[in-house]
Structure 1
Amino acid sequence: MKRIAVIGAGYVGLVAACCLAKSKFEVICIERDQDKINQLVKGIIPFYEEGLQELLVAGLESERLKFSQNFADCKGLEVLMVAVGTPSQVDGRVDLSQIYQVMRDIKHYDLRPKVLVMKSTVPPGLGEQLKKRFLANSECETAYVSNPEFLREGQAIKDWYFPDRIVLGGDFPKALELVESLFINISAPVVKMDVTSAEMVKYASNAFLATKISFINEIGNLCELVGADITPVAQAVGMDRRIGDQFLKAGLGYGGSCFPKDTRGLDFLSTLKGHTFNLLKAVIEVNTRQRILAVRKLCNSLGSLHGKKIGVLGLTFKPDTDDIRESPALEIIKFLLDEGAQVTAYDPMANISKLNSMDFNLCLNAMSAASGCHALVLATEWPEFINLDWGAVQKEMREPFLILDGRNSLNAQNMSVLGFQYVGMGKL
């Protein structure tokens, strides 16, 4: 039985540790935050991910999953998997401080794993730099393997066990085989390549998906100008097998921890290397503009927003997660507050402990958020919102009973019958 260390108990690291333990590997997860460890050993996860808490509890009960603050506990293990954060800086650069600290700790504690697996998303070319800086001219003979993750928040467990592909980048066949063996009983194509190419796969994949989102939003904006409806347009376009229907839903744009960070990071890297990635710059610009466009739609319908009461339904960047990072809803709320609007909001799952100080009223349910509002913005397509008693909601609001459907998830005709002024994204 292989013994594995996973460095970092964040989103990627904790999912990896729990899934590897379920696959009957012995896993120790190293986490610097003792408070987080105290919660994890009690079976409590610091964020919401469907099915993850059950895996955590099962791993603890089987004693195949352990947590520690001490890097020395990794000594003698075959595989060390790095899954620490690489957040975006203001200028788009990737903050690699946690990566460098892990590499220094590996050297300081003389861990000498057979294979160092990089799960964290790092800029293409970093792996080769780390090898030269930390692993070259060393007695440890540690092989470096890039193994980018493609986990979707809300479906991470499914994506671990049923991936579209497993990407491995490295120089040594035996090291690649060792990492491949970690994905036991997982049926998926294994694509092997050099380290830098594997790093590029992650960035290229996220940049392409972000491009599809911004593209369909631009088509939606054009639909409004020519009198077309984006919903049937996107449906028909997506039926083309060369294109596919995923990520072709017009709305407020992408958010979360991956797409914004990775598009900015790739753009910065391109500039650093002397390449002007005009397409990617446009993708980022379009995504930013979608939030402004939503506020403009409110202004067009309400006139001045000063003194208007506007409710926002949904704070997470998408359903089935509590993640509010880069959330379109929060950006829209900032715009509304700057315009002098009174804002109420509700989300069934948002991690409000991570909310910065913002002067809006966070409500306990959707009806409270709608009470007395001139307009409601549907910012996250939670099923709870789509299935609301909208007739009752209308009675709680005040004229002009405006609904801005930022996700095109409601039936426009039904909303009009109920007395709402319905506005969608890219809709007639």
Structure 2
Amino acid sequence: MKIAVAGTGYVGLVTAVCMAEKGHEVTCVDVDENKINMLKAGASPIYERYLQEMMVCNDERLTYTTDYRNAYKSANLIIIAVGTPEKKDGSANLTYVYNVAKEIAESAENECVVLVKSTVPIGTSDKVEKIIDENKRHDVRIDVASNPEFLAQGTAVTDTLNPSRIIIGVQNEIAEKVIRTIFEEFDAPILVTDRRSAEMVKYASNDFLALKISYINEIANLCEIIGADVQDVAKGMGFDPRIGNKFLSAGIGYGGSCFPKDTKALHWLANMNDYELKTVKAAIEVNEQQKLKLIKKARKYYDTFQGLTVSILGLTFKPGTDDLREAPSLVNIPILLEEGARVKAFDPVGIENFKRLMERSDVSGINRIEYYESIDETIRGTDVCFILTEWDDVKNYDAVNFRKFMKTAIVIDGRNCYEISLMKAAGVEYCCIGRQTLKWATEIADISQFTMRSS
């Protein structure tokens, strides 16, 4: 089938490449000429496992262009996968979605189905249909359907090729038949419903997972107070099939392009309809506070960060991606800099994106950030280490090196990367989330070796 995909971000590019992998002829459309030129050269603008290799393997079936008119002119299926960024009030900005709808209306000369894959508020597909009907230049049938995505950054390619489910929101059997043809080679359960229900499935799913994360973080915070171990608690909960063991890893909150935006968007939508989603509101509030957890823990050791050297392990919001949207690093590092700390940062793939964000920000003291390609050099001579992302490089790092290279071996771990017994054997002062704090200064080392810094 001849497919056009509007947008070459995470959803658009991954969808396009996976559709090409399934044998379809796919044209990727984007307004960013630099991004299109990069794609034409065979380079992916985002870091995602397997993506660039699959782009190369399916090169003959992939076309990249800024010319939307030709792309939409004769396509059988047009997938809208542009961004829906968050507005200041928490609602979703649908400008790009509606712009594409108008472009499709002006360009399509053949009968086609428009598939809205962008995460959009309930009722958006209806508005897309209205825009197309009002702006059509050719007398052709254009059906609009909803097909939300459920990919996770870091596993986006495998999630798309092996989906947990396929949700199709349609208003007629003609559109359903076309979409089923697209997914006939995918081994996954298919639910066909109306468009509004399909749109709600996406929000309800993401917000439920966000709720689960915020809930276990609340339990972790209480575990610290009463002396329980949140990892054992989560493991015990996970044995219950009604609960499951996914998204029960306590830490410093969720980030990325989906959960923060989608929780706020659904909360905003409910408010606009005179209803309050109290559980979603609580999840948002808990998550914002959780991002500051490591700063609060560090203040138990240091009255101020002035004059300290702080190492940061992990900049991206999760491992396996170079995405920094809503990453804890964007909250914690500015606080450290504003208080006068020197920051040494490590991340396997996110450094360049982080540099660009810092250069565009008004954060003071960005000249005090140094970037390193090895953990050894990142932690060397530092007063405290924050772990913000659970990269394998970090989880597999020899704990003995914290004591070997750091000035003061205080590790404050926001992702619970290490066994407490391992850190104790290494002689490291170890603070984590929802578990025992290991104080080597009083347990296994002479108190004179532990120097508190304050000014």
Deviation at 1:369, TM superposition (A): 1.4
3-state SS of 2:300 partner: helix
Q: CA deviation at 1:110?
A: 4.2
CA distance in 1, matches of 2:373, 2:189: 45
Q: Please name the residue that 2:358 is paired with.
A: 356
Shift of 1:142: 0.9
Partner in structure 1 of residue 95 of structure 2: 97
Could you tell me which residue of structure 2 aligns to residue 309 of structure 1? 309
- Tell me which residue corresponds to 2:390: 381
Runs of 4 or more, structure 1, over 4 Å off, are 110-113
Structure 2 residue matching 1:302: 3-state secondary structure:
coil
Aligned to 1:175: 175
**Alpha-carbon deviation of 1:136?**
5.8
Query: How far 1:125 sits from its partner (Å)?
Result: 1.1
Q: How much has 1:108 moved relative to structure 2?
A: 2.5
Separation of aligned partners in 2, 1:137 and 1:78: 19
Aligned residue identity for 2:24: F
Deviation at 1:337, TM superposition (A): 2.1
Aligned counterpart, 1:201: 201
* Alpha-carbon shift at residue 111 of structure 1 (Å): 4.3
Say whether the 8 Å CA contact 1:6–1:29 is kept in structure 2.
yes
Shift of 1:352: 1.8
Deviation at 1:113, TM superposition (A): 4.3
Over the aligned positions, Cα root-mean-square deviation in angstroms equals 1.5
Q: 1:99 to 1:346 in 2, by over 3 A?
A: same
Match of 2:9 in 1: 10
The amino acid of 1:153's aligned partner reads Q
CA contact (8 A) 1:106 1:112 kept: no
Say if 2:69 and 2:103, in contact at 8 Å, map to a contact too.
Answer: no
Instruction: For structure 1, list consecutive stretches of 5 or more residues without a partner in the other structure.
Output: none
**1:72 — aligned with what?**
69
The offset of 1:272, in angstroms, is: 1.1
1:256-314 C-alpha deviation (Å, 9 max, x unpaired): 11111111111111111111111111101100101222211010122322222211100
Aligned identity (percent) is 41
* Superposed displacement of residue 371, structure 1: 1.4
CA distance in structure 2 between the partners assigned to 1:110 and 1:378 by the alignment: 50
- Number of residue pairs matched by the alignment: 424
Aligned residue in 1 for 2:407: 398
What stretches of structure 2 of length at least 5 have no aligned partner? 437-455
Secondary structure class of the residue paired with 2:114 = strand
Q: Which moved more, 1:130-139 or 1:322-331?
A: 130-139
Question: Could you tell me which of 394, 401, 416 is aligned with 1:408?
Answer: 416
Decide whether the 8 Å contact of 1:260 with 1:326 is kept in 2. yes
Q: Secondary structure, in 3 states, of the residue corresponding to 1:148?
A: coil
Q: Within 5 Å, which residues of 2 pair with 1:109-258? A: 109-135=107-133, 139-258=139-258
What is the Cα deviation at residue 35 of structure 1? 1.4
**TM-score (ref. length: structure 1):** 0.96
1:427 and 2:425 matched: no
CA distance in 2, matches of 1:253, 1:112: 47
TM-score, length of structure 2 as denominator length: 0.90
SS at 2:218's partner residue?
A: helix
Q: How does 1:362-377 map to 2 (within 5 A)?
A: 362-377=371-386
Q: Note closer, same or farther for the CA distance 1:337–1:417 as it changes in structure 2 (3 Å cut).
A: same
Alpha-carbon deviation of 1:81? 0.8
In 1, the alpha carbon distance for the partners of 2:176 and 2:311 equals 52
Cα distance between partner residues in 1 of 2:397 and 2:46: 26
Letter in 2 for 1:261: K
